Amino acid sequence: MKNPTNIASFEEADPAGHLARKLRDAGFNARVHVDPKSRAIGRETNHLLDIRQVMVPAIQAVRALSWCREFDAAEACLSNALRCPDCGSLRITTSANEELVCGACKHRWPTPVPALVGNH
């Protein structure tokens, strides 16, 4: 994939895989990327979890995000996505010390933060 761009991040495999499949079915080159260096403390288990990022080529990112919003309106497929508490972005990664980092506004915050999931 050329210039992969993270468009949504999840703590769990199922919602990330579901979104990637829906995007592929719509014609996007989407995949789930698990970076072992991108980890967060789970809200329910209090264990370190891998962050799963739904990636598309940079050239498809804006259109794919638009489709994600439509999928979310129809079936709440982003309800489990991690979101930035400042700007609401779905493009979340982690830093070396396991803080969550927004890919859009660069805001950083500690994990776990239960209010990050499901806020629209």
Give the pLDDT confidence of 25-50 residue by residue, as tens digits: 999 999 999 876 665 555 555 556 77
Q: pLDDT tens digits for 59-118?
A: 999 999 999 999 999 999 999 898 999 999 998 888 777 788 898 999 998 876 444 444
Sheet-wide strand order for 100-102: 92-94, 100-102, 108-109
CA distance 62 to 39: 26
DSSP, res 67: H
- Give me the CATH code for the 4-114 domain, please: 3.30.70
- pLDDT of amino acid 37: 64
- pLDDT of amino acid 35: 72
pTM over 0.85: no
Question: How would you class 66 by CB atoms within 10 Å of its CB: exposed for 0-12, middle for 13-18, buried for 19 or more?
Answer: exposed
